[in-house]
Amino acid sequence: MTFAATPTLDLEYTTRLLVDLLNIPSPTGYTEGAVQFIERELQRLGVPCARTPKGGLLWTVPGPGDGEVTFSAHADTLGAMVKEVRKNGRLGLTQLGGYDWTSIEGAEVQVHTQTGTFTGTVVNTRQSTHVWGAELRELKRGADTLEVRLDARTGTAAETLALGVQVGDFVSFDSCARLTPAGYVKGRHLDNKAAVAVFLGVTPVLLAAAPRCTTHFYISVYEEVGHGAASGIPGSTTELIAVDMAAIGTGQTSSEHHVTLCVKDSSGPYDHLLGNRLRAAADRAGIELRVDIYPYYGSDASAAWRSGLPCPAALIGPGVDASHAYERTHRDALRDTAELMLSHLR
C-alpha cells in the first residue's frame, strides 16, 4: 500500500513572491499595487478573496473541524508623505510609521503625484563633506534636515509645483531587494511582506491537504500606523495569530534563521494557552522555536484586541535583522514560519 506524501511548502515560489512584493511600493495609505498583486496571485491559485472596507484582503481555506483560525499579516510598509515644497525645490517629509530618520538618508524614493511618479533621493541639507566638513558629521538628522532631491530639473518651489508635486503626495522608499547565494533576502519592507509571501506559500499546501479547521488569511493595510486589524478580522474567529517580523538585537533571542513566538510586546502579554499550543506545534514539526519579548513593538493582534476581539491572540514571525531600516532575513526563517503555521493547522 502506498500513501500520498504530505504536501510541503515550495520555498522557491515563496521567496520569489517575496522579492516581487518587496519591489512594489506600498507605504501605509498607498497600498493598492501590493494588494492587487496578492489578488492576482490568489486568482492564479484559484482562491476566491474579498476586499475589506478599509482596503485589506481576506481569503479562506475550509476545514472540517470546530473553530476557525485567522492568520493576520500586513502589506503596508514604512514610507512618507510630502510635508512641504521647499524654496530650493526639494521636498520636506512627514513620516508614515515609526523609524529613525538616519535610516532613510541616501534612500532612493518614488514620489507618487496625482499625475505621475518622480524618482529622487533622500539627502540632508548639508550633504557634501567637501563643502560643510565637520558640520555634516555633527548634523542631527530629522524632518528639518532631510529632504528629497527630485530627479527633475528644478531649483525653486515654483518649478517643483509646476511638475505637479503637491503637499500630501505619497513617498515610497525603494526596497533594493535581492536574494543572495547564501539564502538571505535583503531589502526594505521585509516588515511585513515576508509574512504575506509566507501566506501565499502556505495557501496551496492547505488546498492540497485541508487544514483541521477553517482557516482565514487576513491582509491589513494600516498596521504601521497602529490600526490595521482594528477591523476586518472575521467575527467567527476563535484564534487569531498575527504573523510579523521578529526583531533581532542585543538582549533578544530572535534569529534570522528561525521563527519566533513573541510572548509580550508594548501592548502586554499575548495569550499563554495559545502560545503553548504553538510551542507544541513547533515540537511536533521539529522546529527550533525562539521565544522573545519586544519592548517597542505592537502588532495587528494588539490592534484587534484593543478593538474588542473576543478570542485568544498570539504573535509569531521570521527573524529580521535591522528592523525598520535596510532589513535582512533568511529562507530558513521563512520556511520555519510556514511549517509552524502548517503544524498548528494539522
> Which pLDDT band, with edges at 50, 70 and 90, does 115 fall under?
very high
User: Which pTM value belongs to this model?
Assistant: 0.96
Going from the C-alpha of 332 to that of each of 14, 272, 319, 320, 337, the distances in angstroms are: 12, 26, 10, 12, 9
CA-based torsion, 330, 336, 342, 345: positive or negative: negative
Position 327 in a domain: yes
> Which pLDDT band, with edges at 50, 70 and 90, does 136 fall under?
confident
47 and 169 fall within a common domain: no
Catalytic residue among 41, 68, 147, 223: 223
**pLDDT digit string (tens) for 40-85?**
999 999 999 999 999 999 999 999 999 999 999 999 999 999 999 9
69 and 101 fall within a common domain: no
CB atoms within 10 A of CB 317: 29
317 and 229 fall within a common domain: yes
Does pLDDT of 2 surpass 80? no
Secondary structure (3-state) at 198: helix
CATH number at residue 62: 3.40.630.10
Give the whole-number percent of the chain exceeding pLDDT 90.
95
* Average pLDDT, rounded, for the chain: 96
**First-to-last C-alpha distance (Å) of the chain:** 23
> Which pLDDT band, with edges at 50, 70 and 90, does 5 fall under?
low
Position 4 in a domain: no
Active-site annotation holds for 223: yes
Secondary structure (3-state) at 78: coil
Going from the C-alpha of 38 to that of each of 30, 298, 328, the distances in angstroms are: 15, 24, 22
131 and 242 fall within a common domain: no
Q: Which residues are annotated as a binding site for Zn(2+)?
A: 74, 191, 224, 244
247 and 156 fall within a common domain: no
135 and 218 fall within a common domain: no
- Domain residue limits at 219: 11-76+189-345
Does pLDDT of 1 surpass 80? no
72 and 134 fall within a common domain: no
pLDDT, residue 3, reads 38
58 and 199 fall within a common domain: yes
Query: Cβ distance 51 to 232 under 8 Å?
Result: no
Position 3 in a domain: no
One-letter amino acid for residue 313 of the chain: A
> Which pLDDT band, with edges at 50, 70 and 90, does 7 fall under?
confident
How many domains is the chain partitioned into structurally? Answer: 2
220 and 96 fall within a common domain: no
Position 159 in a domain: yes
Query: Cβ distance 281 to 208 under 8 Å?
Result: no
310 and 298 fall within a common domain: yes
